[in-house]
Structure 1
Amino acid sequence: MEDIVFEAVIIEWRGPAPFLFAAVPDAHIGAIRYAAMTASYGWGAVPVVVRIGATEFATSLFPRDGGYLLPIKVAVRKSERIGLGDRIAVHMRVGRPDAR
């Protein structure tokens, strides 16, 4: 699967603790669902490798309201100096870091 590239605004979603996320645009949901058939953990989370700015990190997409939310880790927010309400460019691929 090719990298998925998109821009998104960082949003907050409150669960057990506050987290910041980027919503994956609807245009990419089908490709992610297809790739997730072999990559997903089985409970809906989809492993991804993401690059925001110069920072690359591994995480998992969270299923939410028929789409996916990309968690933006604290370390990434600090290194890229981004936060709630900022527009970011995301380069992402479905899979684990060692699965290229």
Structure 2
Amino acid sequence: MKLRQLAHSRTGDKGNTSNISVIAHDPADYERLLREVTPERVKQHFADVVKGTVVRYELPRLGAFNFVMTLALGGGVTRSLALDAHGKSLSSALLDLELPDS
């Protein structure tokens, strides 16, 4: 199962930092996402992109998380040669994260 089956996401950026919100479609899935979508798994998922830290902020009343990833945008919008210097496609890439069946 892919994360996109349980959640949707949005992406933002500031300099060389990207943040991705992950919002459960159904609040009942929040606890599963809490267990499965850890900062470590997100860092591993973006191993070729994120050179810094991944911090997860939990928003249980919203059924959401915000992942802040440093050193993630090739130096930032004004310095990166990446096709997607803002990192907007990272939210879609995160939704491809495989979750174990449960």
TM range (shorter): 0.3 to 0.5
Larger Rg: 2
- TM-score norm. by structure 2 comes to 0.44
